[in-house]
């Protein structure tokens, strides 16, 4: 599978846009030179109803080594500064960051939800087939170009092709999540670099030392140590695109995207950029050059809600998968669209939408059938009726005993601990009658629980694999020492089966 990962580019734009609430003049200056898109117009008729004045904002990070006119980025720049190989075709037009931000109308807690890029879903406004969700953009763009009228200039062909890609991405994500998308922001590869350059240096925090050499376009060039790291723009790109040599692979990279946004916003706040028109001019220039916004976006209206994004009131989670599969030679994430819709609807306070025809098609694909959607966080009775056994293969001394103690404190019945042969990932399996409890246990580790005939009835088996870290004590939900993060509200997704720990924004969160 081709290594791509210039995935956090778009997400950083929200940090830039969060500066817009300073003065009306700053907003007017920003609005006057933006690149806008009408892609939302074509998905409006199939969108769920808007029930209140909250805003659902989709951040799109486009993995492309081409500029807005379809011209190749300079090879030396891509290779030396971005550590992203030299070919302009690598990465194509994949959307390697898809993050929905729900901004409540009352100015309360902002919920950010990242969609894993390899989720295998039915595309909408593309070819209608099952693909990785990141591929909807590129498929739709290629389809448009294949039937485009002759005589279009290269720049116009690129512009209209990208519009087709945006429509497909918006429609596919909206259908998959089951919520209306009100606005979107898109940033390409060079956009991330330019934004990172404008705000450098940025401090991030890691739980472990890590390296990922960049060799012939493979690898990110990451070379970081445990604790606080101060990054320039090139290092920032390595930080957010690394997925090799990480226990959680793509999912750890997604957590880095979330943490980087938090660090950028803190950087801007600490430097006094937020609220200072003069200091925002360089950022405004980057936004105008590299960011595409929908043409419905009333930046002045958004500015009234944007301060929430810089005040420590954002919690970021990664939506869960139901397992892994290889389909047509590609590694994909199996997903349960009914479960995803239920989780998203619970978080934004709306009633779940009924399953769509696309959901039925997705579940009948060649991917192994995902487990049925778990119920909302369930009763204490479900916990106490299940016995949890823990086997340690992680190499962390005392991990099994420590985890069993923590699970018993959460209300599960105490079982046995043991040691086992090395296992690459932490897994949760269950016997007859223990599914509900197993789903709750699995949420602790960011994995999906699976049934196993080898597990006794009423029991849940936890096997701690490589890369295990105690979830309850993990710094992922905390900030680095000295980061002066504001006290964050409780995570509204607590108890839901997310893919790994939440990232609390507002400071410098430590991640893997």
352 contacts: CB under 8 Å, gap ≥ 6: 178, 341, 342, 345, 346
| Domain end among 318, 339, 360 | 339
Answer whether residue 491 is part of any domain. Answer: no
Q: Are 443 and 403 in contact (CB under 8 A)?
A: no
Q: Does 383 share its domain with 445?
A: yes
Please report, for residues 38, 65, 71, 242, 313, the alpha-carbon distance to residue 146 in angstroms, rounded to integers and kept in the order given.
Answer: 21, 21, 19, 34, 45
Domain-embedded: residue 473: no
- Positions of E strands within 276-398: 291-294, 314-318, 323-327, 330-334, 387-392
Residues 444 and 384 in one domain: yes
In a shared domain, residues 333 and 397: no
Are 379 and 453 within 8 A, CB to CB? Answer: no
Could you list the mean pLDDT of each consecutive 10-residue stretch along the chain, which spans 512 residues? 33 41 48 82 86 86 81 65 52 86 78 94 93 96 94 93 96 94 87 81 90 71 89 87 81 88 82 65 69 78 53 82 92 92 80 45 36 36 77 85 84 88 88 88 80 92 82 46 53 76 84 88
The answer as to whether 498 is a domain residue is no
Tell me: do 307 and 221 sit in the same domain: yes
- Residue 353 within any structural domain of the chain: no
CA 27 → CA 56, 283, 298, 304, distances in Å?
20, 12, 10, 11
pLDDT value of position 375: 34
pTM, two decimal places: 0.70
Which residue from 345, 336, 322, 315 is spatially nearest to 442, judged by alpha carbons?
A: 322
Determine contact, residues 196/237, Cβ cutoff 8 Å.
yes
pLDDT in the model for residue 479: 55
Task: Tell me which of 339, 356, 388 is where a domain ends.
Answer: 339
Q: Which two tokens mark 300?
A: 């002045």
For residue 248, being part of any structural domain is answered with: yes
Q: For residues 362 and 259, what is the distance between their CA atoms, to the nearest angstrom?
A: 32
383 and 291 fall within a common domain: no
Domain presence at residue 499 = no
Under a CB-based contact definition with an 8 Å cutoff, are residues 119 and 176 in contact? yes
Tell me: do 329 and 441 sit in the same domain: no
Among 431, 447, 464, give the residue marking a domain's end. 464
Are 277 and 419 in the same domain?
no
Sheet holding 450-451, edge to edge: 413-419, 387-392, 459-464, 427-430, 450-451
* pLDDT at res. 88: 47
**Cα 148 to Cα 71, 139, 142, 157, 159, distances in angstroms:** 19, 14, 10, 8, 12
Q: Are residues 389 and 450 in the same domain?
A: yes
Establish if 352 belongs to a structural domain.
no
Domain span at residue 405 reads 378-464
Residue 51, H or E segment? none
Closest among 177, 192, 140 to 7, alpha carbons compared: 192
**Could you tell me the CATH number of the domain that includes residue 415?**
3.30.70.2390
CATH number of the domain that 154 lies in? 3.40.630.190
370 located within any domain: no
Q: How many domains does the chain have?
A: 2
Residues 252 and 401 in one domain: no
Pick from 43, 309, 316: which is nearest to 180 by CA?
43
325 and 397 together in one domain: no
Which pLDDT score is estimated for 8? 37
- Give dist(CA 306, CA 322) in Å, integer: 34
Q: Are residues 255 and 399 in the same domain?
A: no
Contact 91, 7 (CB under 8 A): no
* Residue 77 neighbours by CB under 8 Å, 6+ apart: none
Question: For residue 428, what is the enclosing H or E element?
Answer: strand 427-430
**Beta-sheet strands, E only, within 33-129:** 35-37, 55-63, 94-103, 110-114, 120-122
248 with 172, same domain: the answer is yes
């Amino acid at each position: 599978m081709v290594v791509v990962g210039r995935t956090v580019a778009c997400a950083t734009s929200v940090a830039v846009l969060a500066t817009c609430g300073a003065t009306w003049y700053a907003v007017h200056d920003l609005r006057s030179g933006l690149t806008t898109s009408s892609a939302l117009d074509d998905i409006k008729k199939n969108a769920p109803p808007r029930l209140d004045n909250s805003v659902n904002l989709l951040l799109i990070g486009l993995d492309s080594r081409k500029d807005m006119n379809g011209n190749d980025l300079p090879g030396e720049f891509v290779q030396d500064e971005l550590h992203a190989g030299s070919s302009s075709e690598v990465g194509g037009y994949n959307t390697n960051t898809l993050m929905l931000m729900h901004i409540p109308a009352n100015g309360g807690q902002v919920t950010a939800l990242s969609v894993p890029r390899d989720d295998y879903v039915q595309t909408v406004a593309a070819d209608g087939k099952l693909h990785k969700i990141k591929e909807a953009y590129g498929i739709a763009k290629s389809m448009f170009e294949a039937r485009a009228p002759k005589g279009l200039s290269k720049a116009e062909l690129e512009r209209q092709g990208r519009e087709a890609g945006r429509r497909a991405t918006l429609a596919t994500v909206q259908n998959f999540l089951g919520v209306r998308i009100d606005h979107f922001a898109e940033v390409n590869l060079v956009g991330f670099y330019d934004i990172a350059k404008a705000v450098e240096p940025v401090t991030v925090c890691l739980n472990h030392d890590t390296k990922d050499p960049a060799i012939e376009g493979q690898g990110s060039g990451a070379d970081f140590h445990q604790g606080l790291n101060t990054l320039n723009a090139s290092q920032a790109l390595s930080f957010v695109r690394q997925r090799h040599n990480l226990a959680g692979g793509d999912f750890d990279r997604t957590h880095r995207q979330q943490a980087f946004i938090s660090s950028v916003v803190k950087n801007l706040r600490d430097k006094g950029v937020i609220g200072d028109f003069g200091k925002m001019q360089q950022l405004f220039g980057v936004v105008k050059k590299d960011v595409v916004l929908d043409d419905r976006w009333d930046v002045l209206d958004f500015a009234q809600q944007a301060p929430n994004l810089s005040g420590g009131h954002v919690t970021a989670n990664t939506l869960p998968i139901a397992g892994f599969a290889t389909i047509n030679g590609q590694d994909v994430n199996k997903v349960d669209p009914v479960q995803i819709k239920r989780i998203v609807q619970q978080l934004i306070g709306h009633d779940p939408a009924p399953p769509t025809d696309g959901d039925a098609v997705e579940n009948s694909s060649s991917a192994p059938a995902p487990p049925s959607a778990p119920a909302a966080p369930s009763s204490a009775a479900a916990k106490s009726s299940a016995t949890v056994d823990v086997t340690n293969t992680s190499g962390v001394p005392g991990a099994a005993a420590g985890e069993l103690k923590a699970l018993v404190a959460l209300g599960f019945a105490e079982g046995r601990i043991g040691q086992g042969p090395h296992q690459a990932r932490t897994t949760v399996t269950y016997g007859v009658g223990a599914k509900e409890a197993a789903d709750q246990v699995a949420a602790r580790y960011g994995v999906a629980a699976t049934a196993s005939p080898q597990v006794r009835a009423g029991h849940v088996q936890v096997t701690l694999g490589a890369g295990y870290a105690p979830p309850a004590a993990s710094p992922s939900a905390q900030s680095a020492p000295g980061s002066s993060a504001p006290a964050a509200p409780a995570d509204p997704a607590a108890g839901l089966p997310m893919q790994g720990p939440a990232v609390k924004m507002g400071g410098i969160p430590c991640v893997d």
